Amino acid sequence: MSESPVPHEPPIYRRIADGLRARILAGELRDGDRLPGENALMAEYAIARATARQALAVLINEGLAVPRRGSGVYVRLFKPIRRHGARRLSREQWGQGRAIWDADTHGRPFTVDHLEVARERASEHVAGILDSAEVWARRRRYSVDARPVQLAASYFPAHLVQDSAITLTDTGPGGVYARLGDLGAAPAHFTEEVRARMPQPRESALLDLPGGTPVIAITRTAYTSGGLPVEVNEMVLDSAAYVLQYDFDA
C-alpha cells in the first residue's frame, strides 16, 4: 500500500473554473451573460489557450454554461432536477391520479413534446425481461423550462395491455401505472439499473447536448406484488440536468 498520490492543490484551470462558478452561483454573473473569453482568461491569468479552454469546459460540462459557435460561452442556469428514486413512484403519487413528473419538478412546468405509441416486436433484451415477444411501446421526450432533459421508452407486454388506455396517447388520471392497476397488474416493486455513458448522436440531437456531456441511462423494471414484470422503461437523461437521489435504511 503506497502513499496516496492525491494532490491537495487543484490545477489552475480548475481554480479559474471554481472562481467563475462562484460568481455564477452568487448571482454576479447571470443567466445569458457572456463569460470571460479565452483571450481574456489568457491575459488575466498568464495561461495558455488550452488551459483557458479547459476552465470553460468545466463549466460547460457541469451544465452551468453553454458555448455558442463563434460567439463565446454564456451562462446557462438550470436548476438540476432532483429525481427521487423511491418517493416519485409511491402508490400515493399515481394512486391519486397525479403525474409522476410532478414529484420531480416540484411544480416547474414540464412538457412531453414528442410522443409515439406503437405495438411492435420487442428487442431481445426487453422480450427477455417481459417474457413477451410483442410489446406496446410508449416513446416520449420530456422538457423542463423549455429544455429537453429526458428521452424515455416504456414497454408493456402486448397481451396484457392490448385494448387498454395504455395503448392510447392519453392514458388518463394517474397514467400508465393507474391503468396497470385497473388491469389487476399494479406495480409493487421497482428495480432501477443506472449507468453513465457518452450519448449516441441521435440522443445528442434530441436532447440538444453540448459536446462532452454524458448521459445517465436508467433501465427500470416494474413488478407486480406477485413478481410479474409488467413494464420496462429505458430512460436517457441529460447528466447536466439531473441529480438522482436514492434513500434507504441500513
Residues in touch with its own copies (CB under 8 A): 1-7, 11, 14, 61-62, 85-86, 89-91, 112-116, 139-141, 169, 177, 186-198, 200-202, 206, 212-216, 239-240, 242-250
**Least separation, in Å, of the C-beta of 11 and its own copies?**
7
Q: Is 142 exposed, middle or buried (0-12, 13-18, 19+ CB in 10 A)?
A: buried
Report, in Å, the least distance between residue 109 CB and its own copies: 15
Side-chain-side CA neighbours of residue 194 (13 Å): 12
Side-chain-side CA neighbours of 5 within 13 Å: the count stands at 2
Query: Is the Cβ of residue 43 or residue 117 nearer to its own copies in the bound state?
Result: 117
Nearer to its own copies, 159 or 202 (CB): 202
Least distance (Å) between residue 57 CB and its own copies: 8
Q: In the complex with its own copies, which residue's Cβ is closer, 35 or 237?
A: 237
Q: Which is nearer to its own copies, 132 or 143 (CB)?
A: 143
Contact 237, 218 (CB under 8 A): yes
All three cell numbers of 128: 427477455
Q: For residue 8, which phi and psi values (nearest 5 degrees)?
A: -100, -15
d(CA 173, CA 99): 8
What is the smallest separation between the CB atom of 59 and its own copies, expressed in angstroms?
12
Instruction: Compute the distance between CA of residue 250 and CA of residue 95 in angstroms, rounded to an integer.
Output: 28
- The cell numbers describing 180, all together, are 396497470
* Closest approach of its own copies to the CB of residue 244, in Å: 4
Distances (CA, A) of 86 to 81, 190, 224: 15, 9, 16
- Report the residue number, 41 or 241, with the smaller CB distance to its own copies: 241
C-alpha cell at 111: 412538457
The end-to-end CA distance of the chain, in Å, is: 30
Looking at the Cβ atoms of 43 and 115, the one nearer to its own copies is 115
10 Å Cβ neighbour count for 199? 20
| Nearest residue (CB) to its own copies, 64 versus 158 | 64
